[in-house]
Amino acid sequence: MQAPSIGGVRLPRGNGQVVRLPRGASLADFAERIDVDPAQLVQVLFGLGEMVTATQSVDEDTFRVLGEELGFEIQMVSPEDEDRELLESFDIDFEAEDDSISMPRPPVVTVMGHVDHGKTKLLDAIRKENIVESEAGGITQHIGAYQVSVEHDGQERAITFIDTPGHEAFTAMRARGAQVTDIVILVVAADDGVMPQTIEALNHAQAAGVPIVVAVNKIDVEGANPSKIRQQLTEYNLVAEEYGGDTMFVDVAAKPGINIDKLLEAVLLTADAALDLRANPDMPARGVAIEGHLDRGRGPVATVLVQRGTLRPGDAIVTGQSYGRVRAMLDEYGKPVEEAEPSRPVLVLGLTAVPGAGDKFLVADDDRTARQIAEKREAMERNAALAKARKRVTLESFMAESKVETLNLILKGDVSGSVEALEDALLKIDVGDEVDLNIIHRGVGAITANDVNLASIDRGIIIGFNVRPQSRTVEDLADREGVEIRYYSVIYSAIEEIEAALKGMLKPEFEEVQLGTAEIREVFRSSKIGNIAGCMVTNGIMRRNASARLVRDGVVVGEGLTIVSLRREKDDATEVREGFECGISLGSFNDIKTGDTIETYEMKEKPRG
Ligand SMILES: Nc1nc2c(ncn2[C@@H]2O[C@H](COP(=O)(O)OP(=O)(O)OP(=O)(O)O)[C@@H](O)[C@H]2O)c(=O)[nH]1
């Protein structure tokens, strides 16, 4: 095979040699690996119809195409591998198991189920039933997770609940490779039965290999049929113990608080039977950020779940791209915590930024290491985002670019979990190739002047999810700049509306609708207005201003014509129907003959499916 040659310069052929590149790499990076001049790669790509500069971050597809052309197999380093390599460069092995000490740890539970089946009520009931004696009357705060203690076999046992119902949080975390949940409580309302999201939740749990305890809820409601639920779920490989299976089903009523203790017992029994939950509490803490938000007084705060080791105030912590020294740790009652052991969720104060839900956290040897890891991660993310955002400018799309409409969005939300869930869902909207959805900025907290300015520059729309403009000034600025801010508190309705907006941005498609045909019986010549066709409408109608074509002996001889004037007898007419005679002028088109047929049609907008 010939080596590709550009301007007489021969490029090496890779013969299938593998080149690993980090996300966000540029042509210059690739050139360095294969020891060529970056300018040559720019030219090769140009020859393939892509215009990229040497230092621009390039996306995976472009590298693949280029690699194929030159005979190299390009492997993009996955974000996980990239992060692992980054930590290794600091001598940290995040996953390293240290079994020297291994103590039992409480199970971590997520509640999932169909809309309105009672997830929130159940989490409330569990929290209420188990308020620790000393906290009786204490008000719990939502920090994203809480721990309850249960008496089981004469022993005090703890269970940790992720306090974000639904599977968005679950999937957002799994998408980041964070397996947080040990057991899923699947809530099914006994008066409603198995519904689409019940099955979705179940699929998520089974895909993650997480055991399920079924809470058959609302048994207090008349018409509730708990055994029907058991029957329905056997179809999905969830067979109740009493039917010979190994899934525990517990009949509960979250609202009046019936059988909550039995449900908690079932969680512990399932954990003991199916899982051996252990961790080493005697090492620097590692775990996952559950959620985070910007607190007015306290700055960025994050709830983290410790998975190994013990977290203490003063630790140098890094989670995602945020870092800091743990200034204080609080529990769900707002009380200070001095030590957080495995499976313990705590609110952490002292971070530089709000981490994302599912970001792994670790305690580093010192502040400097924590900061360097966070900064390197930020740089990596920025490069990767640049590669993704770089619009693939092919020669074709470059010329046709004006045809693509882009909806630019800025997402602001109250907690990072909801912003991520919203972003994920939005990016999944499929509207084909004609419209682009671009999320130009996302963040946690009130809508700021900066957001408005950004939207104004990029002609974007701001989506406020459970957040409002920071002040009247920001609102005024948006008004003045003509920036639209839309507020939502339900992810689903945000998605629905944005999807509708995207569909609305699609250029209308037109189709031809036949109106009618007329046969030319006679041609009148007029010095003033040119030739006039004396016609008989043989089918449908003739309409003034309608589009027309002229057909002679079955061949179209005039296309893109217009019925310039239409007369019935001596009068102007707007329409003439089948079976009537009329006079038609096609304007300056005078090549008409007796026996020709005039076809008329209209272009109608086609509704989008
Ligand atoms: N009678 C009765 N009503 C219940 C019970 N549990 C929940 N409900 C009611 O069912 C409705 C839905 O409960 P939620 O807890 O909001 O349901 P959810 O699954 O969290 O709903 P989404 O957050 O919308 O997905 C509320 O009106 C509750 O009061 C129960 O055990 N008995």
Q: Are 13 and 128 found together in one domain?
A: no
Q: Are 524 and 497 found together in one domain?
A: no
Q: Are 449 and 496 found together in one domain?
A: yes
Q: Are 335 and 439 found together in one domain?
A: no
Strand 9-10 versus strand 108-113 pairing type? unpaired
CA atoms within a 13 Å half-sphere pointing along the CA-CB vector of 39: 2
Q: Are 119 and 71 found together in one domain?
A: no
Given this model, what pLDDT does residue 133 score? 45
Residue 218 has pLDDT above 70, yes or no: yes
Nearest in space to 364 (alpha carbons), one of 313, 318, 310, 311: 318
Please report the atom of ligand 1 found closest to the CA of residue 217: 31
Q: How many residues does the chain have?
A: 609
Residue at a domain's end among 244, 277, 310? 277
Nearest in space to 108 (alpha carbons), one of 169, 154, 52, 67: 169
Question: Which runs of consecutive H residues, i.e. helices, occur in 280-428?
Answer: 367-389, 395-400, 416-427
In sequence order, which residues have a C-beta less than 8 Å from that of residue 36 and are 6 or more positions away? Answer: 11, 12
Given this model, what pLDDT does residue 403 score? 46
33 Cβ below 6 A of ligand 1: no
Share of the chain above pLDDT 90, in %: 30
Residue 510 has pLDDT above 80, yes or no: no
Q: What CATH number should be reported for the domain holding residue 539?
A: 2.40.30.10
Ramachandran bin of 217, using left for φ above 0, alpha for ψ from -120 to 50, beta for the remaining angles = beta
- What's the rounded mean pLDDT across residues 111-126? 90
Look at 43-47, 313-317, 517-521 and tell me which has the smallest mean pLDDT. Answer: 43-47
Is residue 555 assigned to a domain?
yes
Residue 214 has pLDDT above 90, yes or no: yes
110 Cβ below 6 A of ligand 1: no
Ramachandran bin of 194, using left for φ above 0, alpha for ψ from -120 to 50, beta for the remaining angles = beta
Contact (Cβ atoms closer than 8 angstroms) between residue 270 and residue 185 = no
603 Cβ below 6 A of ligand 1: no
Quick one: angle between helices 27-34 and 38-47, nearest 10?
120
- 366-413 pLDDT, tens per residue? 999 999 999 888 888 777 766 665 543 333 333 344 444 677 888 998
Burial grade of 57 (CB within 10 A; 0-12, 13-18, 19 or more) = buried
Q: Are 353 and 373 found together in one domain?
A: yes
Q: Are 55 and 29 found together in one domain?
A: yes
Given this model, what pLDDT does residue 394 score? 37
Q: How far apart are CA 377 and CA 370, in angstroms?
A: 11
Residue 136 has pLDDT above 50, yes or no: no
Is residue 306 assigned to a domain?
yes
491 Cβ below 6 A of ligand 1: no
Residue at a domain's end among 255, 277, 299? 277
253 Cβ below 6 A of ligand 1: yes
116 Cβ below 6 A of ligand 1: yes
Burial grade of 288 (CB within 10 A; 0-12, 13-18, 19 or more) = buried
Residue 190 has pLDDT above 60, yes or no: yes
Question: Interface pTM (ipTM) of the complex?
Answer: 0.97
For the chain, the average pLDDT equals: 83
Q: Which residues are annotated as a binding site?
A: 113-120, 163-167, 217-220
Measured in Å, residue 117 CA sits from the centre of ligand 1 at: 5
Measured in Å, residue 210 CA sits from the centre of ligand 1 at: 24
Q: Are 146 and 256 found together in one domain?
A: yes
- 191-210 pLDDT, tens per residue? 998 988 888 888 888 888 89
- What's the rounded mean pLDDT across residues 410-428? 85
- 84-103 pLDDT, tens per residue? 888 888 888 777 766 677 88
217 Cβ below 6 A of ligand 1: yes
How many other CB atoms sit within 10 Å of the CB of residue 388? 13
CA distances from 558 to 109, 588, 592 (A): 73, 12, 9
Q: How far apart are CA 285 and CA 317, in angstroms?
A: 9
185 Cβ below 6 A of ligand 1: no
Measured in Å, residue 257 CA sits from the centre of ligand 1 at: 12
Q: Are 184 and 273 found together in one domain?
A: yes
In sequence order, which residues have a C-beta less than 8 Å from that of residue 324 and are 6 or more positions away? Answer: 316, 317, 350, 351, 352, 370
Strand 509-526 versus strand 183-189 pairing type? unpaired
Nearest in space to 371 (alpha carbons), one of 325, 424, 334: 325
> With bands split at pLDDT 50, 70 and 90, how would you rate the model's confidence at 140?
low
Residue 598 has pLDDT above 60, yes or no: yes
Q: Are 167 and 303 found together in one domain?
A: no
> With bands split at pLDDT 50, 70 and 90, how would you rate the model's confidence at 495?
confident
Q: Which residues are annotated as a binding site for GTP?
A: 113-120, 163-167, 217-220
Quote the domain boundaries for residue 343: 286-384
CA distances from 80 to 85, 94, 111, 353, 377 (A): 9, 11, 27, 21, 11
> What's the number of domains the chain is made of?
5
Is residue 96 assigned to a domain?
no
221 Cβ below 6 A of ligand 1: yes
Residue 188 has pLDDT above 50, yes or no: yes
Dig out the tokens for 459 from the structure: 């002609």
Is residue 94 assigned to a domain?
no
Q: Are 461 and 518 found together in one domain?
A: no
φ, ψ for residue 299, nearest 5 deg:
80, -155
Residue 49 has pLDDT above 80, yes or no: no
Q: Ligand 1, from 187, 255, 490, 492: best to mutate by most atoms within 8 Å of Cβ?
A: 255
Residue at a domain's end among 505, 538, 555? 505
Q: What CATH number should be reported for the domain holding residue 425?
A: 3.40.50.10050
Please spell the DSSP secondary structure of 199-228, one letter per residue.
HHHHHHHHHTT--EEEEEE-TTSTT--HHH
Given this model, what pLDDT does residue 11 score? 67
Measured in Å, residue 191 CA sits from the centre of ligand 1 at: 12
Is residue 100 assigned to a domain?
no
Q: Are 519 and 540 found together in one domain?
A: yes
165 Cβ below 6 A of ligand 1: yes
Please report the atom of ligand 1 found closest to the CA of residue 166: 25
Burial grade of 191 (CB within 10 A; 0-12, 13-18, 19 or more) = middle
